[in-house]
């Protein structure tokens, strides 16, 4: 199993007509990477959607998903 590092951007961008964007970037050992973006009308909504998407993809430990409503 290959190691993947996951980075979640905690800085919010207010753009696209007052839409907040949450971002996570994953890097693998061999240099591959992927970005996941979610949007919301608030930073909290964008973050909740991002945490939910990462949880569905099994990219977060259950303890992190449980605590991030």
Contact, 26 vs 59, CB < 8 A? yes
Q: How confident is the model at residue 62 (pLDDT cuts 50, 70, 90)?
A: low
Q: How many domains is the chain partitioned into structurally?
A: 1
The first and second tokens of residue 32, run together, are: 């591959």
Residue 67 located in a structural domain = no
Residue 69 located in a structural domain = no
Over the stretch 28-60, which tens digit does the pLDDT of each residue have? 888 888 888 899 998 889 989 998 988 888 877
Dihedral sign computed on CA atoms, order 4, 54, 62, 49: positive
Residue 68 located in a structural domain = no
d(CA 61, CA 63): 5
Over the stretch 22-36, which tens digit does the pLDDT of each residue have? 888 888 888 888 888
Q: Which domain holds residue 22?
A: 4-61
d(CA 54, CA 17): 25
H or E stretch at 50: helix 43-56
> What's the predicted TM-score (pTM) here?
0.70
Residue 54 located in a structural domain = yes
């Amino acid at each position: 199993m290959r190691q993947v590092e996951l980075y979640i951007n905690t800085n919010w961008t207010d753009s696209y007509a007052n839409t907040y964007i949450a971002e996570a970037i994953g890097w693998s050992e061999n240099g591959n990477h992927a970005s996941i973006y979610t949007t919301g009308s608030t930073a909290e909504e964008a973050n909740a959607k991002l945490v939910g998407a990462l949880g569905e993809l099994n990219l977060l430990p259950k303890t992190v998903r449980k605590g991030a409503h």
